[in-house]
Chain A
């Protein structure tokens, strides 16, 4: 079956340090999405990657999609306290069904 694994489960960093979360799918994906969920909030869409090897940047956030379209990463440079939350990847297949990873909970220590 289709599974999406995400590591690490938790990450505590000092403010200003970098952060990376990794996402791996058991099967080849059509696309991958990334979401951020603040404590007590709902997931908020960050970005979608579609092409093999694609890299996209949003200010301090860099998203990558693997060449085989089975893995992805989100890298945050110089974390800030506003980056606190849980980051989810969601693997998409052509049926429009999305399977979310378990998420990486980021804590930023000031």
Chain B
């Protein structure tokens, strides 16, 4: 399968714990996006990478969220000190020189 993959697919954690998600984009895609989606809403932009550079980060994000893309390939999204309001589907998308975004299956986070 050469699509965008995300790991894990589901994560249940207790409030206050740290979690990390991984996204593997389509090979050679230089752009990578992270979104958050809650029930009944559209994907909410979190951050954007072009190769390894993080070019934009949503002002909606608190300092508890951080994302990396160290070698311009896979990316990680870490949430520190999780809160119940962080429960959502976290989606990753990638694109290559065009704006067509290919989404992964997402990681569903539940914070108890």
Identify the A interface with B (CB < 8 A).
Answer: 6, 31, 33, 42-45, 48, 88, 90, 92, 95-103
Contacts and interface: CB of A to CB of B under 8 A. Distances in A.
Given A100-B42, A100-B43, A103-B42, A43 B103 contact: yes
B44 interface: yes
21 contacts: A42-B104, A42-B106, A43-B43, A43-B91, A43-B103, A44-B103, A88-B43, A90-B42, A90-B43, A96-B31, A96-B48, A96-B50, A96-B55, A97-B48, A98-B33, A98-B45, A99-B45, A100-B43, A101-B42, A103-B40, A103-B42
A43 B41 CA distance: 12
Given A88-B43, A98-B101, A102-B40, 9 more contacts: A33-B99, A42-B104, A43-B103, A45-B102, A96-B50, A96-B99, A97-B45, A100-B43, A100-B45
Interface string B78-106: 00000000000001010000111111111
A56 B106 CA distance: 29
Contact of A97 (B56, B103, B105): B56
Nearest to A50: B99
A45 B91 CA distance: 14
Contacts of B50: 96
Interface centre among B42, B99, B105 (most CB of A within 10 A): B42
Interface of B: 31, 33, 35, 40-45, 48, 50, 55-56, 91, 93, 98-106
A44 B99 CA distance: 13
A interface SS class: strand
B interface SS class: strand
Given A43-B91, A43-B103, A48-B100, A88 B42 contact: yes
Nearest to B101: A45
A45 B104 CA distance: 12
A96 B106 contact: no
Contacts of B103: 42-44
Contacts of B98: 48
A102 B42 CA distance: 5
